[in-house]
Structure 1
Amino acid sequence: MAARDYGQYGGITRALELVGERWAMLIVRDLLVGPRRYGELAAGLHRIPSNILAARLKELQATGVIRRVPHSRVIVYELTPYGRELEPVVLALGAWGFKTLGDPRQEQVITPDSMTMDLRTAFRQQVAANLPPTAYAARLGPAELFIRVDGSALDVRRGDGTADLAFAAGADIRRLISGELTPHLAIATGVVEVLRGPGDLLERFASTFHLAV
């Protein structure tokens, strides 16, 4: 049984019955990055009450969106093939929400999984296909991500690595991704700090990751 029954028959109604409860889509978002242990999900969604997380996981399992599987002697949660079909929906929601994102409130945080999905949302495959392969090491608030673009393929992972360009930024990275700031101005105003590599590669990053507002 779905957690909520709207008493209507239709595809959108059914979708909301499956993933419309609070926190459900954020659980799906994080699992789109990769399988997660219960504690990893709780840490990435640091304001979710433990009873709500447990309830949402149970509901999403019951409706075939996620499953529990053994992995390296621990149990992890992962999306089923049916659940992975939500990826374009999540990316579309991210692009829609980006238009009115604004500045972060003081209590809001950046997580590696949320930033990974934001980058996947902003990724422009057709542009990247015509650019040389490039690796970026990005420190985005507390999130450290290694980003590799090879043609139309994007790989984003936690951690550092040998990169063509390493840079640091905060939530204001959205001003670069939206086109509000040029790469030159982003560096000049301190929105982006170049740590290693030629700063002009930030132009390539801004071309590869862009969401108009």
Structure 2
Amino acid sequence: MGQRGGYERFCSLSRGLDVVGERWSLVIIQELLHRPLRYGELRSKLPGIGSNVLGDRLRRFEQHHLVERVPGGVGEGVAYSLTPRGRDLSPALALFRRWALDELLPMDATSETVAYDLSYAVDADAGLAEEYEWHIDELSYALRIDGSTLTVTPGSATEPVVTLRTTREFMYRWVEGATTWDRGRTDQEVDVDVLGENAWQRMQLATGYPGRQTPGSRLGTPPGPSCVA
């Protein structure tokens, strides 16, 4: 009798977590939902992941028919692409992002400052140092970016270059990928005050999820239009 390992439960949730429940697994899937990526591209989008861990996750996904290798461009080797079965995870990831918004932006105003590594989207040597202020319903959050580090603190920013007002219901749809900042402004669901040239575009790139930008778009290089997750 074969030994499966993992949870060893006759339960579809448990079996699913055996395949995609380890650290980095769902983040890799989220990156590949946007387009096929070469191994090196994936590593650059996942700061902190070990080469052995990435290789292990990709092999597991191939074994379970979530990912396949496809030819890259001339001289580029192979890329990893989601299969239809892998893409079936997209609705589940959208719902999970919606659920997790209240962890990313807690509704508890006494929450502590949290720092995030944005090196997948921001070039540290671009020298970016500025603040944004988000008002979501009755709560406020100060977001400060220094180099490629973003800190989020409940409360007001000191000198925000972007001040944004919206609702948590809009934010739920935003993290699901059902809307965008610019669409929210057009539909008058998002109100924004901007100081300085390109501050709005910089904020979108600095706070977008991995893969939301067009390929190659980073702060420190000319930004492209945002893509829906």
TM-score bracket, normalised by the shorter chain, equals 0.5 to 0.7
2:178 to 115, 123, 126: 123
Shift of 1:27: 0.4
Question: Quick check: 1:64–1:80 contact (8 Å CA) kept in 2?
Answer: yes
Shift of 1:157: 2.6
In structure 1, the partner of 2:21 is: 20
1: CA distance between counterparts of 2:63 and 2:57? Answer: 10
In 2, are the aligned partners of 1:110 and 1:143 still within 8 Å (CA)? Answer: no
Check if 1:88 corresponds to 2:91: yes
Q: CA separation of 1:156/1:52 partners in 2, compared to 1, >3 Å: closer, same or farther? A: closer
| Structure 1 counterpart of 2:201, from 138, 148, 157 | 138
User: Letter of the aligned partner of 1:32 in structure 2?
Assistant: L
TM-score by length of 2: 0.52
> In structure 2, what residue type is equivalent to 1:157?
T
CA distance in 2, matches of 1:141, 1:53: 28
Q: 1:100 aligns with which of 74, 86, 103?
A: 103
Cα pair 2:47 2:120 within 8 Å, conserved: no
Ranges in structure 2 where 5+ consecutive residues have no aligned partner: 106-111, 122-172, 188-199, 218-222
Q: After superposition, what is the alpha-carbon deviation per residue over 1:15-54, rounded to whole angstroms, capped at 9, x for unaligned?
A: 1111011111110010011111101110111100111111
SS for the counterpart of 2:201 is strand
CA distance in 1, matches of 2:53, 2:202: 31
Contact 2:98 2:175 survives alignment (8 Å): no
Structure with the higher helix share, 1 or 2 = 1
Within-5 A mapping of 1:144-183: 157-158=214-215, 159=217, 160=223
User: How big is each residue's C-alpha offset from its partner over 1:81-140, in whole Å with a ceiling of 9 and x where there is no partner?
Assistant: 00000001111111111112137633532745xxxxx95615249xx6xx68xxxx8323
Count residues in correspondence.
144
The code of the aligned residue for 2:98 comes to A
Provide the rounded CA distance (Å) in 1 between the counterparts of 2:8 and 2:102: 32
Paired residue type of 1:65: L
* Residue 93 (structure 2) pairs with residue 79 (structure 1): no
Quote the sequence identity (%): 28
Normalization by structure 1: what TM-score?
A: 0.56
3-state SS of 1:21 partner? coil
1:3–1:59 CA contact under 8 A, matched in 2: no
Given the superposition, is the C-alpha separation of residues 122 and 35 from structure 1 closer, same or farther in structure 2, using an over 3 Å criterion? Answer: closer
> 2:70 corresponds to which residue?
69
